[in-house]
Amino acid sequence: MPLNYADFNCPSYLQYRFESFTAGGRMWLIRAWQQGEIKAGERLAQILFTCVTCKNCVQTCAMPGIREQLVDIFMAAKGELVEQGLVPPSIRDYLKAMQTHGNPYKRPDAERARWAEGLDLPRYSGQAYLFYVGDEGAFDELGIGMARSVARLLGQAGVDFGILGEAETSDGNDVRAAGEEGLARALAETLTAKLNDLGVKKVVTLSPHAFNIMKTDYPAWGGAFAVEHWTQVVARRVRALAPAETALKVAFHDPCYLGRWQGEYEAPRALLRAVPGLTLLEMPRNRQNALCCGGGGGNFFTDILGHGGDQAARVRVREAAETGAAVLAVACPLCLKMLDDAVKAEGLDDRLAVRDLATLLLAMR
């Protein structure tokens, strides 16, 4: 019923298949709710909170003037439900953990330094860049591995950086994507104050999620520093890496918060192209048309979309396997885990490996 140029690539629609779980469906239902034609309840909450904010609808909607606002509208609708206390339990728990612990893993701040153990990385004290790893880089097993690889890669590329270690706090991007604008802003203001105090001029992030909120929103909330994603910083220095030759066939998964949200599709590809002999096999859905791994909107932590063969991440790894690639490369710690789990669920682990770009490049020596 909704017009649906956007349907084919929407993770929630792919999974639920009711038109209510499409961008158009959500628009109609939000209007009906605001006009008093339907009442907000569990189902509406489920429909709204399963939007992973991937911006596929913004990309494909045929209506200029409307398309740009779609995800903002969905996030605002989530916010309205949060205020009314109509939040699915998994989202509620996630937000509560963020509020109470400052991270979704419920780990103490002191543990935020653990990821860097043994790497001998300097604390930030005026270096050119601050390398920010965020919650996943500090607490998620695969994220930690990726953070370590990126740190080593930045070093090899000659980037002068320091880290915050246990002084890091959450960036707030996913909290906002889950409807809690107020909490996101509070987290942002805490972090910006910290960075401003330290005199940070340039931030390089591990996750595209942090990159997104810091680049677009932090300036209005007091941030006085420039922000880049690590692929962008390394892409400029890729010649310094001198990777060795390989016969590897690699597919690249565009992360939504680097791609559709921030328009960066080429920096990660520049890294792959720098490896002699490496074949980049583009998936049919690439760049602006990439199929989200399903990790956004807080789903990475809440698992609100659940699992099953139609789960976006599983559809995506099937698509990657079909290209004949041996490796599915990612640039985001959330994509990394979502797709790695999906490969196992699909029984593809004997022929497709999910690797972050940094780990992959480090292996090419």
Partner 1 sequence: MNDIHDELVRIVGAAYVSRAGEELYLYGRDQGVQPPGRPDYVVLPATTEEVRRIVLLAGENGVPVVPMGGGLVLSGLTVPLKGGIVLDMKRMNRILEVNELSHYCVVEAGTTQGALQAYLARRHPALKHSVPDAPPVATIAGNVAIHGSGHLSQSEGGFHSEMVTGLEVVLPTGEVCRLGSCSTVDKWFSRAPLPDLAGLFLGWNGTTGVITKVGMKLFPSFPLKDVLMFMTEDIDAVPEVISRIVSTEMGEDITFFVTPKPAYFDGFQMTNVHIVARTPREMKLRQALVRESVQPYLDRKEAGFLPLPAHMKVNLLAAPQKSLSEFADIRKGGGFEYVGSIMPVESIPGAYRAGLGIAARNGVTYSMGARVVGRGHAVMFYYAFPFNRADEAELQSVRHALEAANRAALDLGGIPWKTEVAGQRMILARMDPATVALMERLRALLDPNGIMNPGNWEVAP
Sheet holding 202-205, edge to edge: 161-163, 129-132, 202-205, 226-229
Segment near partner 1 (CB under 8 A); pick from 25-33, 81-89, 98-106, 185-193: 25-33
Q: Which of 19, 93, 109, 166 binds partner 1 (CB under 8 A)?
A: 19
Applying CB under 8 A, what is the total number of residues that bind partner 1?
27
Residue 7 makes contact with partner 1 by CB under 8 A:
yes
Among 307, 309, 306, 339, smallest CA distance to 325 is for 339
Among 327, 336, 331, 295, smallest CA distance to 153 is for 331
| Gap between the Cα atoms of 133 and 360, Å rounded | 18
Q: Which of 34, 37, 72, 158 binds partner 1 (CB under 8 A)?
A: 37
User: What residues pair up with 162 in beta bridges, in sequence order?
Assistant: 130
Work out how close the CB of 229 gets to partner 1 at its nearest, in angstroms, rounded to a whole number: 31
Take residue 145 and report the two structure tokens written for it: 């591995």
* Beta pairing, strands 226-229 & 202-205: parallel
Residue 62 makes contact with partner 1 by CB under 8 A:
yes
| Gap between the Cα atoms of 170 and 191, Å rounded | 7
Q: Return left, alpha or beta for 222; rule: phi > 0 is left, psi -120 to 50 is alpha, else beta.
A: left
Work out how close the CB of 108 gets to partner 1 at its nearest, in angstroms, rounded to a whole number: 39
Work out how close the CB of 317 gets to partner 1 at its nearest, in angstroms, rounded to a whole number: 19
Q: Which of 36, 64, 85, 347 binds partner 1 (CB under 8 A)?
A: 64
Residue 39 makes contact with partner 1 by CB under 8 A:
yes
Going 250 to 317 to 338 to 42, the CA torsion angle's sign is positive
Work out how close the CB of 44 gets to partner 1 at its nearest, in angstroms, rounded to a whole number: 6
Residue 358 makes contact with partner 1 by CB under 8 A:
no
Residue 43 makes contact with partner 1 by CB under 8 A:
yes
Residue 166 makes contact with partner 1 by CB under 8 A:
no
Residue 38 makes contact with partner 1 by CB under 8 A:
yes
Cβ distance 18 to 1 under 8 Å? no
Segment near partner 1 (CB under 8 A); pick from 22-30, 186-194, 232-240, 267-275: 22-30
| Gap between the Cα atoms of 311 and 314, Å rounded | 5
Work out how close the CB of 17 gets to partner 1 at its nearest, in angstroms, rounded to a whole number: 5
Q: Which of 36, 85, 118, 284 binds partner 1 (CB under 8 A)?
A: 284
Q: Which of 10, 11, 12, 20 binds partner 1 (CB under 8 A)?
A: 20
Q: Among residues 90 and 170, whose Cβ is nearest to partner 1?
A: 90
Residue 18 makes contact with partner 1 by CB under 8 A:
yes
Q: Which of 11, 25, 104, 145 binds partner 1 (CB under 8 A)?
A: 25
Segment near partner 1 (CB under 8 A); pick from 40-48, 114-122, 134-142, 332-340: 40-48
Q: Which residues bind partner 1 (CB under 8 A)?
A: 1, 3-5, 7-8, 16-20, 25, 28-29, 32, 37-39, 41, 43-44, 47, 62-64, 66, 284
